[in-house]
Structure 1
Amino acid sequence: MHLPPLDVAVYPVVTMNHGRYVSRSARASSAVSSVSSSSSVSSPTCAPTVNFSGIQRAIQSVFRSSKVTVQQAERLQGRLHQVYLAKVADGSIYVLKCPPHLSTRALRHEKHGLETSYKTLRYLRDYLQGQLPVPEVYQYKEHVGVLGSPYLLMTCVPGRKLSEMLPYLSPGERGSIDRTLGTYVQSISSLNAQRFGMTHNVFANKGSRSWREAFQRLLESALRDCEEMLVTLPYDSIRYYIERHLPALDQVQTPYMVAMDMCDPDNVLVDEQTKQITGLVGFSNVIWGDPLMNAGIANGSDAFFEGYGERPSGTGAPYARQLIYAIYRAIVQIASLYYRPRPRLSDNDARRSLTHAVNTLATL
């Protein structure tokens, strides 16, 4: 895949043996800077090191040629996983995604993110036949590879983050993007499996036989993440009201793919000229269960549901399930901010969403 070269003119460059390590400046926002995101984390206080020779060997092993030369390697900041861009001599750009640094605290559901990304992207490529603009996976090393850790090598998807483009989009352009997103979510929601739960368990045939059981495990994991950090939450009320409405989950009989972070504006890439979606990234948190759990459906616009095909019911068991999932998402968001604090961000919005969902569920 051939992409425009990295715009290094605005980056401070440190010369290294057999190539260059390019460190992104705070003001640079390249079109390829959004290639593989996960939950954001605060930037380290010192410049990260880049294993240039390891990146070189990883790419050469894929193409089985020592003539493939990496010219630049760049570490992307502000992500849970360690993500690198590598530009080779022919102008192609690749992405290497490695596990979080040992000093980075991960939530329970994040600990299999690399494996989940790999299996999900391969599954989407196999079953949707290019219907979604997702990265192509070249290699996955589950154990320690040439980089000294597991890694995932894939193509770089061009585009700029939707979160960065939002101020410059007209209502019509935003509606077109939402409509396309709805179509993509509908496509993913049509894929099903034999068991419920997190992707690494489902693909190992260790998932749950019921959605109720699988969701309870997810919820308890999130609550324990908060409890271990001594986060103040109405734990008893959350467990009580969700327990009271658990029968609503029994209506979900088929496990469908739910890409939890797919519609996050940081994970949707847009062409700056055409204002159309060019790529989707961020598949490290994928669950097999109820499509209503997708945050895109929870916050979808009219245009989104035009693409999706239907709007969820605002009454009865489907509405109860939406409230239960809103509680779960809020808990995860709160936990992530305690584990990895981010400057100028608070958990106020997540707490308001949690309070509203719990109180509304209590009235049903």
Structure 2
Amino acid sequence: MAKLSLPPSSLQSLLSALLSNTVLTSSTELSTPLHLNTVYHLKTTAGSFTLKLPPSPSARILRYERHLFPAEHMVTSFLSSQGILPAHPSNGTYIYDPSHELINTSFILKPYLEGQALSTPTKEALAWLKKLNSLTSPTGGYGFFQDATHSTYQSFFLSLFESVLLDGEELLVLLPYEQIRGELAQWKWCLEVEHQTEKEGCFVVFDLALDEILVDGDGKVKGLAGGWERGCWGTWELQNALRGEALSKEYFGENWTGDLGHVGRARLLLHDLLAATCRIVTLFYRQAAMSDEEMSHRKKLVGILQQLSELRSTK
């Protein structure tokens, strides 16, 4: 995967320009599986920092990812104003620079977030997530944070799904495109607003994994390891489909599917279908296809399509 990189001398020059008399003592490039941002942990005489760079201009990225990097700053500023995250430090150690003047790319420099990856759901983490998800779109619109221009959730969902399908077709990813689009055409009516629990967008982090949540020794949530650029205004089904069954049971309760009824079941299956399709296509774009993970998602996709077909026959 093509990623931007900076040698230690360039990292030191950048720090010197931003934080006077600061000396770089070590730099480590952090692993960002399936994400194309370059992330450095910088240890300096002024403390530890995270330097985040956008994907390389030559990197293959999905359509929905093309304008995500600037959203990191917008989302963290918004969440700080809502008391979800601490305010940006007033000492100038949080810097978003899109100018390309200091280095030939945009970047974010911020204090390094210490913490351990969450391995199992905790009450503290779930309370934090529920507070996060209680935030509603200031404009009433749906979509990714920097472009929440969809007036309905149905419009956002179908647009996002179609963009992922187009990405797959562009890279010749083998998928049952006609069947997927056929099921979307058959079931899109159940995404209309009268079938939603929420009547306005709630804050969701698209493709959030449990181990992206960082906690301290007391279990208090510190933030997200992968950052916030995938923040969007959606519905609980979107966050549910992309969090996995274990977290869903803890978040909503053991019987989290409950008595969803015909429409509710169809909505969940459509979101599961998006999750499986998006992950398969992403693996190809990250040159990580032909793996056990890909095979697992393909099996899920086949099963979901079968369930949607069976559900339609029982209407």
Q: Give the counterpart of 1:191 among 127, 131, 135.
A: 135
- Structure 2 counterpart of 1:353, from 289, 300, 303: 300
Identical pairs, percent: 23
Tell me the distance in 1 between the aligned counterparts of 2:252 and 2:86. 18
Paired residues of 2:25 and 2:44 also in contact (CA < 8 A): yes
Change (3 A) 1:292 1:128: farther
Map 1:318-337 to 2 at 5 A: 318-337=264-283
Report Cα offsets for 1:98-144 as digits up to 9, x if no partner. 11123421111222221122211221111134489xxx981212231
TM-score under structure 1 length normalisation: 0.72
Residue 305 of structure 1, aligned match among 244, 252, 256: 252
SS at match of 1:87: strand
Q: Is the Cα–Cα contact under 8 Å of residues 121 and 137 in structure 1 kept in the other structure?
A: no
Give the distance between the partners of 2:255 and 2:202, measured in 1 at CA: 16
TM-superposed CA distance for 1:301, in Å, is 5.0
Unaligned runs of 5+ in 1: 1-40, 167-173
- Structure 2 unaligned spans of 5+: none
What's the CA shift for 1:299?
Answer: 4.5
Cα displacement (A) at 1:316: 3.1
The SS at the match of 2:41 is strand
Aligned residues: 294
Q: Which residue of 2 aligns with 1:80?
A: 36
Partner of 1:71: 25
- Aligned match of 1:155: 111
Residues 139-154 of structure 1 aligned to structure 2 (within 5 Å): 139-154=95-110
CA RMSD of aligned residues (A): 3.0
C-alpha distance in 1, partners of 2:245/2:64? 20
Corresponding residue SS for 1:146: coil
Please point out which of 59, 67, 79 is paired with 1:112: 67
- For 2:266 and 2:9, the matched residues in 1 are separated by 53
Q: How far did residue 197 of structure 1 move? A: 1.1
Question: Taking structure 2 as the reference length, what is the TM-score of the superposition?
Answer: 0.82
- Equivalence map 1:1-364=2 (5 Å): 49-56=5-12, 58-59=14-15, 65-78=19-32, 79-90=35-46, 92-130=47-85, 138-162=94-118, 166=119, 174=120, 177-193=121-137, 194=139, 195-202=141-148, 207-251=149-193, 252=196, 253-262=199-208, 264-271=209-216, 277-282=221-226, 283-294=228-239, 295-296=242-243, 299-305=246-252, 311-313=256-258, 314-342=260-288, 345-364=292-311
Map Cα deviations across residues 237-261 of structure 1 (whole Å, 9 max, x no partner): 1111122211221134311111123
Once the two structures are TM-superposed, the CA of residue 201 in structure 1 deviates from its matched residue by: 0.8
For residue 149 of structure 1, report the CA deviation from its aligned partner.
0.2
Equivalent pair of 1:178/1:301 in contact (CA under 8 Å): no
* TM-aligned CA deviation for residue 70 of structure 1: 2.7
